[in-house]
Amino acid sequence: MLLWKELINEANELEQSTTASKDDLKLLQIYLCRLYLTPSYENTLNLFNAEDSLAFLGIKPLQEGDTLPGTQDYLKAIRKREKSLTASLKGTPTLSFEPLLASLVKLLKPNLVEIKLLIYALLLLQHPQAKQVLRELEINEFNNSVNALAKAMRESSRMVARALDEDAMLCQIRMLEAPNRGSDIWDLIEAGPLLGQLVLAVSEDKTGQADADLEQMLFRHVCPPGPTAQHQIGDFQGVPELQLMLDYLGNALTTTARGKNILLYGKPGTGKTQLARAMAEKLAAPLYEVPTKDGHAGAMTGRIRLDAAKLAQMFLEDRLGAVLLFDEMEDAFRKSDQLAKGWFNQLLEENQAPVIWISNNIREVDPAFLRRFDFIVEVKGSGSDQEVEKLKQALSVLPVAPEWIAEAARKSWMTPALAQNLVEVAQYLPTRQITRNQQRLEALMKQRLSVMGDGRPTRILHKTPKQDFPKFRQEWINTRPTLMNVERLLRKEDTGRICLYGPPGAGKTAYAQELARRLKKPFMLNSGSDLLGMYVGQTEKNIAAMFDKAETTGAVLLLDEADTFLYNRNMAQQSWEVSAINEFMVRLERFEGVFLATTNRFDSFDSFDKAILRRFQLKVEFGYLNAEQLKDLIEACVMDKDKACSLTREQLDHFEYLTPGLVRADVQNLRLRGFKPSTGKLIEALVIEQQEQTAGVVAQPIGFLH
């Protein structure tokens, strides 16, 4: 390490035995005395709090009758004290923080000026009262402060200024806070958060380890070893290009190539962190993780964690074959405008150890940073039988019905993390209140998913409704073209984009379900209102997730109430509305499955966006029931079928605005009123329904009414 003459730049002959604490203070006093003796200020020295300042420097206060403050007598006393302190120190420094300093010097390889600045920062941390002494100097602005400090340390002003630049090594990793142009002498040197944490970690370490083990202790603080993976690599076979990622990572571990980075993203709880640990375990590589919390369980800021990652790479320079994990990446990028892009790009391009970055929300990461990653892979639940079985096993301890567990494990939004959360809560639930427990857990899941921006329903077991209406029949739906023709087209093309339009209750949803059944494909239903998010960008995210899931499962996708995304963008009142429509249009164009959209506004095509309408290959019109269809439907719904069968065309022809949905609503209304659906009662209800449907459909006079 350093000799005293290197710190004070003046040899001496006086031998003196000193303690570490005294030596720390003496060195700080030497620097402070020299600052007071800076030529530019020695003639204007004015101590407003002379006694306290002199006492801190170890100078006895002037006696009554002596020269007033601000005179040359003070300067003389300070000059004398500086010489005395310099003469009292000789040989090897015995600083109290010597082990920490030695480890940092070995790790960071700083030059002499940087070492002096580190020591100065550590001294100020030990003696915060020195700040008040510095304030007495009134040395203002960056250049003046740098010049004064350089003279005190007997170093070049240019070298000190260079070491304090925001791009300099100590400031990059936040050992020191980079000063601004307005920094004065009392805030020119500030210990950075990382240096403060290391000092605290050393002071609180109670293991009694030798100084030689200090580097390992610091290493564990900056990037501790990750825990053992809870899953095998085989559990993640649904992750895209998993083997290719393993090959890439394996090559990075066996070569000296720099700048190898993988980004895993996806919703919380999908197993991203476990995948990273499983990959490292598969490759037999030590895994170190940048912590998200400090030693007191307090959350570390994103910038501090980036600084720790930079320092961790310095540790790992001599540990080839190791992997670094940086979880919750988006926390470091929420204020990306405050990050020096050049600094971060350097972190991605020059890292010796490969890094696996993890993000729950990739939209919060600047695209300029994303372009630096070789792999960007989404991790989401695969829905495989193996995954479902693991979830069922995890949920098996819940005090609920077995069928509830089986259904919950199959839900697309059920993740290992959510399952673990339910298990932790369930230990406080009474074991015998099965139904009540299911309701409580569903309420808990609904709140949790809502906070995460997922507004999908969380009802696990649905009661089978009492059948009060006949099942769907194709002959009750009026469409052009027919269902058979549409089916024939989709079987031939295996893809299609179809707009279903017509009055409410005409059977558009039932039509889509029947089409999926005939095509032997899963059916997936989404409502336009369900896609609308509370936050900026959430709607676009929901749209993308909808199309992605449909493509993954091969389902026939029906977007009900799609009007929001069909309207002309010129009619949008908010920028986010335009963005949502654009996202919908782009994803619709790329979708390779069967997509159907419904709208009741069949008379409003002129207000729809022509660019979106052109992307639909077919537009299927749904009409009202004709007399024959209505008779057949009434006969299927009523108790007195013989009477319904005797209905004549003349009795039914005037019903021109009825749909299967409206008939069903009237049947249900009769049941709620305590009536069994009979032909007479249903006809009476349909007459009222017809009147309500045609109310207001009357030509209005032109002009104003008086």
Query: Among 31-45, 242-256, 445-459, 512-526, whose mean pLDDT is lowest?
Result: 445-459
User: What mean pLDDT do residues 46-59 have?
Assistant: 71
Please report the pLDDT score of residue 303 as a whole number.
74
Determine the residue type at 263.
L
Q: Distance between alpha carbon 188 and the CA centroid of its chain, in Å?
A: 35
- Report CA-CA distances (Å) from 227 to 282, 289, 319: 14, 9, 18
Query: Among 140-144, 200-204, 634-638, whose mean pLDDT is lowest?
Result: 200-204
- H helix or E strand, kind and range, residue 265: strand 261-265
Structure tokens at 510: 């039932």
Q: CB atoms < 10 A from the CB of 579, how many?
A: 16
3-state helix, strand, coil in the chain (%, to 5): 50, 10, 40
Please report the pLDDT score of residue 142 as a whole number.
92
* Rg, C-alpha atoms of the chain: 38
- 3 state SS of 222: helix
Burial of 472 from C-beta contacts in 10 A (0-12 / 13-18 / 19+): middle
Question: Is the model's pLDDT at 265 over the cut of 70?
Answer: yes
The alpha carbon dihedral of 556, 561, 565, 568 has a sign of: positive
- Report CA-CA distances (Å) from 402 to 405, 408, 433, 445: 5, 10, 14, 18
Please report the pLDDT score of residue 475 as a whole number.
83
Question: Is the model's pLDDT at 12 over the cut of 90?
Answer: no
Please report the pLDDT score of residue 15 as a whole number.
36
Distance between CA atoms of residues 570 and 541, nearest Å:
22
- What is the bridge-based pairing of β-strands 556-560 and 523-527? parallel
Distance between CA atoms of residues 275 and 246, nearest Å:
11
User: What mean pLDDT do residues 345-359 have?
Assistant: 84
Residues of the chain above pLDDT 90, percent? 16
Please report the pLDDT score of residue 604 as a whole number.
58
pLDDT tens profile 69-85: 555 777 888 888 888 88
Distance between CA atoms of residues 441 and 457, nearest Å:
13
Distance between CA atoms of residues 686 and 440, nearest Å:
42
Query: Among 111-125, 140-154, 458-472, whose mean pLDDT is lowest?
Result: 458-472
Query: What are residue 375's DSSP bridge partners?
Result: 262
Please report the pLDDT score of residue 39 as a whole number.
66
pTM: 0.52
pLDDT tens profile 383-409: 556 677 878 888 888 898 888 888 888
Structure tokens at 30: 């030497």
Distance between CA atoms of residues 476 and 473, nearest Å:
6
Structure tokens at 606: 């002129």
**How many Å from the N-terminal Cα to the C-terminal Cα in the chain?**
101
Question: Is the model's pLDDT at 107 over the cut of 90?
Answer: no
Distance between CA atoms of residues 58 and 488, nearest Å:
98
- Report CA-CA distances (Å) from 340 to 201, 306, 325: 28, 12, 21
Contacts of 228 (CB under 8 A, 6+ apart): 277, 281
Distance between CA atoms of residues 215 and 103, nearest Å:
6
Question: Is the model's pLDDT at 576 over the cut of 60?
Answer: no
Confidence class for position 47, pLDDT limits 50, 70, 90: low
For residue 480, which phi and psi values (nearest 5 degrees)?
A: -135, 115
Let me know: does 600 contact 503? Beta carbons within 8 Å: yes
Contacts of 396 (CB under 8 A, 6+ apart): 405
Closest-CA residue to 231 (of 283, 168, 276, 267): 276
Q: CB atoms < 10 A from the CB of 230, how many?
A: 12
Closest-CA residue to 547 (of 498, 595, 602): 595
User: What mean pLDDT do residues 661-683 have?
Assistant: 87
Query: What are residue 293's DSSP bridge partners?
Result: 299
Residue carrying structure tokens 């929420």: 334
Confidence class for position 16, pLDDT limits 50, 70, 90: very low
- Report CA-CA distances (Å) from 606 to 503, 507, 613: 17, 23, 10
Peptide bond into 399 cis (omega under 30): no
Please report the pLDDT score of residue 11 as a whole number.
39
Query: Among 355-364, 437-446, 447-456, 687-696, whose mean pLDDT is lowest?
Result: 447-456
Q: CB atoms < 10 A from the CB of 197, how many?
A: 22
Structure tokens at 417: 């993390």
Distance between CA atoms of residues 661 and 667, nearest Å:
10
User: What mean pLDDT do residues 336-362 have?
Assistant: 75
pLDDT tens profile 422-481: 888 888 888 888 888 888 888 888 877 776 655 555 677 665 545 556 777 778 888 888
Let me know: does 641 contact 520? Beta carbons within 8 Å: no
Which of 46-60, 208-222, 281-295 tops mean pLDDT? 281-295
For residue 641, which phi and psi values (nearest 5 degrees)?
A: -65, -30
- 3 state SS of 225: strand
Which of 256-265, 333-342, 559-568 tops mean pLDDT? 256-265
- Report CA-CA distances (Å) from 418 to 149, 160, 231: 56, 52, 16
Residues of the chain above pLDDT 70, percent? 81
Average pLDDT, the chain: 80
Closest-CA residue to 526 (of 559, 565, 566, 562): 559
Closest-CA residue to 9 (of 26, 40, 31, 24): 31
Distance between CA atoms of residues 630 and 682, nearest Å:
11
- What is the bridge-based pairing of β-strands 496-501 and 618-623? parallel
